[in-house]
Amino acid sequence: MTTAFIFPGQGSQAVGMGKSLADAFPVARAVFEEVDAALDQKLSALIWDGPIEELTLTANAQPALMAVSLAVIRVLESEAGLSIGRDAAFVAGHSLGEYSALAAAGTFSITDAARLLRIRGDAMQQAVPAGMGAMAALLGAELDLARAIAHDAAQGEICEAANDNGGGQVVLSGAKAAIDRAIAMAGERGVKRAILLPVSAPFHCALMLPAAETMRAALADVAMQAPVVPVMANVGAAPLSDPDAIRISLIAQVTGTVRWRECVVAMQAAGVTRFVEAGSGKVLAGLVKRIAAGTTSVSLGTAEDIVNYKSQNG
């Protein structure tokens, strides 16, 4: 069985995530303590006690989700003998989850990943004035149709495919008026549903260019090692191991489409038969089931999940 470890992105946050891990396993508690120290903030208290409105702020949600994912990995290493280099063929993450994947594979330290994600979250939030951008999910649309709708809805404004999540789910991002036009057009083009998403900024489109420049500077200052296994990168949907190529890809990811469907297809084509989602929620495992028939997927986010996983995997 060939395994890929996958890491969730924004939207998977929940108050209390990771608490059972920290209570049961000192190595998990140490991850949260390291993130708190890196950010000079008691982020762990916000993660476990809320309020959800503050946790959901981009600058908090991004390092918080990474912390939970890396806590899962550290527990798997200590309790189940996991070695990413030995036991995984690839790592991959959805948007901010790509930083979690890279930290799990040794490219970034947890401290550097937390600081980068705080910078990234702040920069993405500040790139567009509040209320000027929006995102919408098109359900029952493949990428080509979504891109055609985005093109026709733009009318001189930014409107682009932000996430190709697979299973007929594509997210558009751009100027608020253009996204409103896209939602109106979607029904006329045969899209089952078009839903305005409750997000604070229009991620993964050209409006994020100021944030991409911020990340170019931030990534230039951080030590990066080659990952112990390739990362299946969001923007290229291709495996990367060279730190310079990874740096370039992470900068492009801020404004580029998250090609999640193609990432999963590529990993399956390379022989992956099992996907292990490490972190909060079960979103990615659900997407994998729709994209990669014949593979198995499991989500690990709680102490109970890991005990069950360990019993099933020796």
Query: CB under 8 Å to 255, separation ≥6 — which residues?
Result: 204, 205, 206, 208, 209, 211, 212
- Active-site entry in 95, 173, 280, 299: 95
Query: CB under 8 Å to 104, separation ≥6 — which residues?
Result: 5, 7, 69, 70, 73, 84, 91, 278
CA distance 288 to 250: 22
CA separation, residue 264 to residues 88, 129, 232, 234 (Å)? 14, 34, 9, 10
| Residue 204 annotated in active site | yes
Amino acid at position 53, single letter:
E
Residue 38, number of CB atoms within 10 A of its CB: 21
- Active-site entry in 204, 249, 297, 299: 204
CA separation, residue 107 to residues 9, 98, 223, 236 (Å)? 18, 11, 8, 18
Cβ distance 277 to 298 under 8 Å? yes
CA distance 193 to 138: 6
| Residue 12 annotated in active site | no
Which residues are tagged catalytic?
A: 95, 204
